[in-house]
Amino acid sequence: MKYKDFLALRDWPSADLLNMLLLARSVKAEPAKYGRQLEGRALAVIMEKPSLRTRVSFEAGICQLGGFAINLSSGEISLGKRESVRDVAKTLERMVQGIVVRTFGHDIVEEMAKHTSIPVINGLTDFAHPCQAMADYLTILETKGDINGVRIAYIGDGNNVAHSLIFGAARFGAHLAVAAPAGYEPDPNVTRQAMADAAETGGKIEILRDPLEAATDADVIYTDVWTSMGQEDENEKRQRDFAGYQVNDEMARLAKPDYVFMHCLPAHRGEEVAASVIDSKHSIVFQQAENRLHVQKAVLLELMS
């Protein structure tokens, strides 16, 4: 089934997401095969938050598929301030063939998708980061051979990355335990929806308080920064509240001997993860980062071909 937009993983059925992962794996293995698939296609890349992996992977990705990117900074666009989201969407649909938006409110990407006939891709909102989660699950597939039944421990803030991992676990049949301090749990609506969806795939979603419980017998330990973009004024409080949630050697010893460590980056060594873990033989963070490129290319092929 053809979908117009890619805003959140829950919007897509399991089979279609799995097909996208398989396409990403094929793109990674045989990039030349797809080199002219989007020849002449233009992708508008709107970045209202700082970006390294999202921007480079989409801009390099569209170029490697034969198209080109037009980067639009927040100062140039200022969605909803300088110009309405609707007017930006209606203008861009007459000039380009796809839009990537990295912004704050999830309502912005939803409104843009509503008012344009061309694909809108969520490059990150405060609610969800679906492209990151797809790269994460591709990496798990590569390193563990399967996703179904894999035990993933997510330690830390129940943020946009956590939400997308939760939706993905439900779609792919993974067992995901999220350990977060009180007040930092994932959105309960996300958890409730995902738990219902997981019943169809054999997935399992747990929300825990104890990070050591989550890490026990894990195949994957995943964490993210404690203070995300836009939360800088909360940093001191978050440092106190997340005490005991650092992924360190003591915690990692509770996981399976062949566990892998994942982080969406950028990382703050010495805060959410010890340097001895992120720089260890178990760490696959740069394989994970590279897979952003291959997943982004698969998303573009699915939506813009």
CA angle 17/5/66 to nearest 5° reads 85
Confirm whether pTM is higher than 0.85. Answer: yes
109, 85 Cβ separation under 8 angstroms: no
CATH-assigned architecture of domain 9-129+290-304: 3-Layer(aba) Sandwich (3.40)
Per-residue pLDDT of the chain (305 residues; tens, 9 = 90+): 468 999 999 999 999 999 999 999 999 999 999 999 999 999 999 999 999 999 999 999 999 999 999 999 877 887 877 889 999 999 999 999 999 999 999 999 999 999 999 999 999 999 999 999 999 999 999 999 999 999 999 999 999 999 999 999 999 999 999 999 999 999 999 999 999 999 999 999 999 999 999 999 999 999 999 998 778 888 999 999 999 999 999 999 999 999 999 999 999 999 999 999 999 999 999 999 999 999 999 999 999 99
139, 222 Cβ separation under 8 angstroms: no
List of E strands, 18-84? 42-47, 68-73
The CA distance from 152 to 129, in Å, is 17
Task: List residues with catalytic annotation.
Answer: 102, 129, 132, 224, 264, 292
Q: Which CATH class is domain 132-285?
A: alpha beta
Which pLDDT score, from 0 to 100, does residue 1 have?
47
- How far from 132 is each of 10, 110, 135, 145, 270, CA to CA, in Å? 14, 18, 5, 19, 23
**270, burial (CB in 10 Å: exposed 0-12, middle 13-18, buried 19+):** exposed
Which pLDDT score, from 0 to 100, does residue 53 have?
97
In the chain, ranges of CATH 3.40.50.1370 domains: 9-129+290-304, 132-285
